[in-house]
Amino acid sequence: MNHTHWESDREFAHRMDAADELRRFRDAFEIRDSNLIYMDGNSLGRLPKRTRDVLERVVEDEWGGDLIRGWGSGWYDAPQRIGAKVAQILGARPHEVIISDSTSVNLFKLVVAALRARPDRRQIVSDELNFPTDLYIVQGAVDLLDGGHVLSLVSSRDGIATDQQAVLDAIDETTALVALSHPTFKSAYLYDVPAITERAHSTGALVLWDFSHAVGAVGLKLNEWDVDLAVGCTYKFLNGGPGSPAFLYVREDLHSELLSPIWGWWGHRAPFAFDLDYEPAADLTRFLAGSPPCLSLLAIEPAIELTLEAGIERIRKKSVGLTSYLIALADVLLAPLGFELGSPRDPARRGSHVSVRHAEGYRITRALIEEMDVIPDFREPDNIRIGVAPLYTSYAEVWETVDRIRRVVEAERYRAYSAVRQTIT
Ligand SMILES: Cc1ncc(COP(=O)(O)O)c(C=O)c1O
């Protein structure tokens, strides 16, 4: 969407919605209250209507009727079958993706596997914008392996982006693994994945990308970019449901080289041989651990199909349109009220959410949720994070969000709320 001119009146948003080629997908989601503006699809996507039907079928017919036979009619191979569908969204080969466990657990499996595959190297490169679980998992792997690994974090001057050259420079012949998120969770900063991956490969390091905030919103080309390893959530822009199992990707040629540190029976070469000794599967299923949570797993499938139907190019195009529009409105309506942009201005460097920063960001977020029917989320220290989900977010909702933020601040409605953080922000 190459708009150079965004207009700040509400009618402009309606004209954009009328011309939106993804408009019909909004009806595919459960939307009970049209006044409630949901801007947190980057944390938990909305419920697709067809997911309810699938869950009903799985519970009623399969669990209720088929009982244990369900494993033979669609449950057992679901990690690979649904993984192959996610692979289409990732630009990967079908057998390079499985669905299993949580993103955190998949990170653990891949971090340990990667460090063991580079036994003479001690450095792990990441950045201080990375999601905490990614850093904790690396720290835990370092502690577990007890091999003197060092985690080097590239810093960020503005909390929005890192200097990409600094990341490239941090990678050298001592680097075992580069582990980064694309985009980053607070600012939605997008890396140049091919450039970093290429630099890592030129030194012999492996690269592990966390695509949690990209999958289903930002175009990814894992094969073309020669990505080694990747993980990501399915409950954000893929709309898989709360806590739905994550995806795990390993490039084909690394399947036999890398070993999961969790030697569960689902990763065994022949689980139903019930051998006494572990022998990993030859393919990616070696990264499965144990029985998957079938209800959550099967609920992902109809949601992913919606993304495939819409097509990731069209989704990305609308995402760029929505975030650009949001920034244009924020420049006009929110900057005079003390807001600063907490995300990259360049759409090529920005994912599908926009953070607007304000000293009273936390209390403003509380007021939005409690009395303005807008649900964004808050990320320390001052980011109001506004996620746009192209399958169901409209331009009118973007306009309303900015307008309601403006009204909260102009009337100082946030003053009624405590700055003491609630458990979940
Ligand atoms: C970038 C990123 N990675 C990992 C996670 C955590 O994943 P999980 O809690 O499913 O393990 C999140 C959660 O929001 C995230 O944003």
Please confirm, yes or no, whether 108 is among the known catalytic residues. Answer: no
Q: Determine the atom of ligand 1 nearest the C-alpha atom of 104.
A: 11
Residue 218 domain-assigned (yes or no): yes
Residue 59 domain-assigned (yes or no): yes
- pLDDT number for residue 425: 85
Q: Determine the atom of ligand 1 nearest the C-alpha atom of 106.
A: 11
* Domain CATH code at residue 331: 3.90.1150.10
Q: Determine the atom of ligand 1 nearest the C-alpha atom of 43.
A: 14
Kindly state whether residues 282 and 319 are assigned to the same domain.
no
> Assign residue 78 a region: left if phi > 0, alpha if psi is -120 to 50, beta otherwise?
alpha
Q: Determine the atom of ligand 1 nearest the C-alpha atom of 184.
A: 1
In this structure, are residues 104 and 324 in contact, taking their beta carbons and an 8 Å threshold? Answer: no
Kindly state whether residues 155 and 246 are assigned to the same domain.
yes
Q: What percent of the chain has pLDDT over 70?
A: 99
- pLDDT number for residue 417: 95
Residue 111 domain-assigned (yes or no): yes
Kindly state whether residues 258 and 317 are assigned to the same domain.
no
Mean pLDDT score, 264-283: 98
| 229, β-bridge pairs | 208, 250
Kindly state whether residues 319 and 281 are assigned to the same domain.
no
The predicted-structure confidence for 196-249, as pLDDT tens digits, reads as follows: 999 999 999 999 999 999 999 999 999 999 999 999 999 999 999 999 999 999
* Domain CATH code at residue 139: 3.40.640.10
In this structure, are residues 275 and 256 in contact, taking their beta carbons and an 8 Å threshold? Answer: no
Q: Determine the atom of ligand 1 nearest the C-alpha atom of 243.
A: 10
The predicted-structure confidence for 344-360, as pLDDT tens digits, reads as follows: 999 999 999 999 999 99
Which of 264, 280, 309 lies at the terminal end of a domain, its last residue? 309
Mean pLDDT score, 180-208: 98
The predicted-structure confidence for 282-341, as pLDDT tens digits, reads as follows: 999 999 999 999 999 999 999 999 999 999 999 999 999 999 999 999 999 999 999 999
pLDDT > 90? residue 71: yes
Candidate list 25, 29, 108, 131, residue with the active-site label: 131
User: 213 CB under 6 A from ligand 1?
Assistant: yes
Residue 214 domain-assigned (yes or no): yes
Mean pLDDT score, 248-271: 98
Tell me the torsion sign for CA atoms 25, 29, 31, 36. negative
**Distance from CA of residue 254 to its chain's centroid?**
23
How far does residue 157's CA lie from ligand 1's centre (Å)?
24
- pLDDT number for residue 383: 96
Mean pLDDT score, 251-259: 98
User: 212 CB under 6 A from ligand 1?
Assistant: yes
The number of folded domains in the chain is 2
Mean pLDDT score, 258-263: 98
pLDDT > 60? residue 2: no
How far does residue 215's CA lie from ligand 1's centre (Å)?
12
How far does residue 134's CA lie from ligand 1's centre (Å)?
8
Residue 40 domain-assigned (yes or no): no
User: 103 CB under 6 A from ligand 1?
Assistant: yes
Residue 39 domain-assigned (yes or no): no
Q: Which helix (H) or strand (E) holds 225?
A: helix 222-225
Nearest to 329 by CA among 344, 319, 339, 318: 339
- pLDDT number for residue 3: 59
Candidate list 235, 247, 249, 287, residue with the active-site label: 235
In this structure, are residues 368 and 408 in contact, taking their beta carbons and an 8 Å threshold? Answer: yes
| 151, β-bridge pairs | 124
Phi, psi of 354 (to 5 degrees): -130, 130
Measured at the CA of 379, the angle between CA 375 and CA 382, to 5 degrees, comes to 100
Terminal Cα-to-Cα distance of the chain (whole angstroms): 32
Higher pLDDT, 1 or 155: 155
Please confirm, yes or no, whether 379 is among the known catalytic residues. Answer: no
Per-residue DSSP letter, 336: G
Candidate list 251, 385, 404, 406, residue with the active-site label: 385
Phi, psi of 205 (to 5 degrees): -85, 160
Kindly state whether residues 16 and 60 are assigned to the same domain.
no
What confidence tier does 5 reach under pLDDT thresholds 50, 70, 90? confident
Range of the structural domain that residue 223 is part of: 52-309
User: 185 CB under 6 A from ligand 1?
Assistant: yes
**Distance from CA of residue 265 to its chain's centroid?**
28
pLDDT mean across residues, the chain: 97
For atom 4 of ligand 1, the residue with the nearest CA is: 103
How far does residue 245's CA lie from ligand 1's centre (Å)?
11
User: 131 CB under 6 A from ligand 1?
Assistant: yes
Kindly state whether residues 201 and 120 are assigned to the same domain.
yes
Q: How many residues does the chain have?
A: 425
Kindly state whether residues 93 and 217 are assigned to the same domain.
yes
Which of 280, 309, 338 lies at the terminal end of a domain, its last residue? 309
Please confirm, yes or no, whether 236 is among the known catalytic residues. Answer: yes
- What's the whole-model pTM score? 0.97
Choose the residue to mutate in 138, 191, 233 for probing ligand 1, maximizing ligand atoms within 8 Å of C-beta. 233
Residue 234 domain-assigned (yes or no): yes
User: 235 CB under 6 A from ligand 1?
Assistant: no
The predicted-structure confidence for 23-55, as pLDDT tens digits, reads as follows: 999 999 999 999 999 999 999 999 999 999 999
For atom 8 of ligand 1, the residue with the nearest CA is: 103
Residue 164 CB partners (closer than 8 Å, separation 6+): 191, 192, 195, 196
Residue 2 domain-assigned (yes or no): no
Which of 286, 309, 332 lies at the terminal end of a domain, its last residue? 309
What confidence tier does 4 reach under pLDDT thresholds 50, 70, 90? low
Kindly state whether residues 317 and 300 are assigned to the same domain.
no
Q: What percent of the chain has pLDDT over 90?
A: 98
Kindly state whether residues 251 and 284 are assigned to the same domain.
yes
Kindly state whether residues 236 and 372 are assigned to the same domain.
no
- pLDDT number for residue 1: 46
Higher pLDDT, 4 or 209: 209
Kindly state whether residues 403 and 272 are assigned to the same domain.
no
Kindly state whether residues 305 and 326 are assigned to the same domain.
no
